[in-house]
Amino acid sequence: MPAQIKSPEPNEFAEFYSDYIRRADARGNVTSALASQVTEVRSALGGLSDSQARFRNGPAEWSIKEVVSHLIDGERVFSYRLLRISRKDKTPLPGFEQGDYVRESGADEMPFNDLLDEFESLRRANILAVKNMSEEAVAQVGTASGMPISARALIYILVGHVEHHMASLKEKYLPFA
């Protein structure tokens, strides 16, 4: 793996992911951020009870449990894309409807600590996968949701996606949960 994975160029990801890339860039070393986020998520959310984690910021909003379930879904989907693209698989990969995934997750009925453990397990597996990628693998470009995307961009998206949702939780949820 490269010592430092440089930020992806704008042609390596869809505009939709710009905020995630920017947030990951702000962290500096993206590989260090992958590991740091495990502790950060646990520190910010680990003290919540199951009932507190069911808090919604509004009737149409996701609960904290559902947000964590969405982080889990994102971790799985982005890492699957990362695996395929880093292995030079040029098969176009489909998008996914995040709202449907959250609705079908049943997250509010799961023990909150299980959700946090699942996120941590997936992230630790992704850290190892990224650690063992060659520079050539990180530079590969494929297609997801009908748009070009690089393995490097997907690594940044893993970090930026968590940054985005944790910022939202801290601003809109945690003061009230």
DSSP state string for the chain: --SSPPPPPGGGS-GGGHHHHHHHHHTSSHHHHHHHHHHHHHHHHTT--TTGGG-BSSTTSPBHHHHHHHHHHHHHHHHHHHHHHHTT--SPBP---HHHHHHHH-GGGS-HHHHHHHHHHHHHHHHHHHHT--HHHHT-EEEETTEEEEHHHHHHHHHHHHHHHHHHIIIIITTT-
How many Cβ atoms sit within 10 Å of the Cβ of residue 150?
21
Over its length of 177 residues, how does the chain's per-residue pLDDT go in tens digits? Answer: 556 899 999 999 999 999 999 999 999 999 999 999 999 999 999 999 999 999 999 999 999 999 999 999 999 999 999 999 999 999 999 999 999 999 999 999 999 999 999 999 999 999 999 999 999 999 999 999 999 999 999 999 999 999 999 999 999 998 876
What residues make up the domain containing 42? 10-173
Instruction: Please give the tally of structural domains in the chain.
Output: 1
The pLDDT value recorded for residue 67 is 98
Q: Is residue 71 a part of any domain in this protein?
A: yes
Q: How far is CA 164 from the centre of its chain?
A: 9
CATH number of the domain at 162, please.
1.20.120.450
d(CA 138, CA 161): 18
Nearest to 173 by CA among 54, 71, 24, 70: 54
d(CA 80, CA 49): 31
Tell if the pTM clears 0.75, that is, is over it.
yes
Q: Is residue 2 a part of any domain in this protein?
A: no
The pLDDT value recorded for residue 1 is 53
The pLDDT value recorded for residue 176 is 78
Q: Is residue 3 a part of any domain in this protein?
A: no
Q: Is residue 22 a part of any domain in this protein?
A: yes
